[in-house]
Amino acid sequence: MADDQVISSVWARPEKSRNARPALSREQIVAEAIGLLDAEGVDALSMRKLGQALNAGATSLYRHVANKDQLLELVVDEIYGELRVPALDDPAEWRQAVRALAHEMRQMILRHPWIAPILGLVGSSYLGPNVTRLTDEMLGLFEDAGFALEEGNGVVKALFAYVIGWTTSEAAWLLALARSGQTEEEWLDQIRPAMEHAMEAHPRLARLYKAQREARPNLNIPQDEFDYGLDRFLAGTNPTHP
């Protein structure tokens, strides 16, 4: 069986020896793939289409990745490379630093909304150099704040789960809006009668919908709700001391 059939993760893929300089670099392939994904989404990406965009044959691509799944591992790690962990000058201000990082993570996903549905599918993304760097720096932030290493690791995982879980629904909305070709207001005007009908038998949802509709011109409701949940998460998170 070929190595590429045995090794499922690009991070476990051995570098293939080659005498000549490859026509394409891994960086070129990843950059072009991100451009296609930002423009057209995951469903539109294929190895053939990527090769055409790069004006390269399949052999050049397969020197670096065996299939689309391995390509997505590289892409996810590259996107995570956009994140930087804030420096913690004062341990007492760790919540402010974590809040800033959470906002940066949310914005990263909203810049690339196609990434949200695949984050849980890229099983070995945690092995990528950007993800390992990011995780190590986050562990350092929590250690500086007074958390034990294993305790900090639990908080890191919980923070990722909160931000990704919350932002996935926002990303889905952006993708649906892009596919519709409509503005947000046009889409809402079209769907509003169905929304109001669905809530007629549910008084609490109806009141909530009415309040949010009235507040929409003055409030960024997704941002406010994200902040509310994040603040509750941080308020209940403290280092435990022996």
Which tens digits make up the pLDDT trace of 53-75?
999 877 788 888 888 989 999 99
pLDDT over threshold 80, residue 19: no
pLDDT over threshold 80, residue 178: yes
- pLDDT tier at 217, thresholds 50, 70, 90: low
Closest CA relative to residue 88, chosen from 79, 78, 98: 98
Residue 22 has what pLDDT?
58
**Stretch 208-237: mean pLDDT, rounded?**
84
Q: What type of residue sits at position 14?
A: P
Q: How far is CA 30 from the centre of its chain?
A: 16
Residue 146 has what pLDDT?
94
CATH assignment of 3-79? 1.10.10.60
C-alpha to C-alpha distance for 95 and 238, rounded to whole angstroms:
10
C-alpha to C-alpha distance for 4 and 10, rounded to whole angstroms:
9
C-alpha to C-alpha distance for 151 and 136, rounded to whole angstroms:
14
> Contact, 33 vs 45, CB < 8 A?
yes
Q: Which of 33-37, 93-97, 188-192 has the lowest mean pLDDT?
A: 188-192
Q: pTM, whole model, 2 decimals?
A: 0.84
pLDDT over threshold 80, residue 218: no
**Stretch 30-55: mean pLDDT, rounded?**
93
Average pLDDT, the chain: 86
Residue 126 has what pLDDT?
77
pLDDT over threshold 60, residue 238: yes
Dihedral angle over CA of 98, 102, 107, 109, nearest 10: 140
Considering only residues 169 and 17, tell me which one the structure prediction assigns the higher pLDDT: 169
C-alpha to C-alpha distance for 71 and 210, rounded to whole angstroms:
44
Domain boundaries, the chain: 3-79, 84-235
pLDDT over threshold 90, residue 196: no
Residue 1 has what pLDDT?
37
Residue 211 has what pLDDT?
85
C-alpha to C-alpha distance for 40 and 37, rounded to whole angstroms:
5
- The architecture CATH gives domain 84-235: Orthogonal Bundle (1.10)
Q: How many residues does the chain have?
A: 242
Using a pLDDT cut of 70, give the percent of the chain over it: 88
Residue 144 has what pLDDT?
95
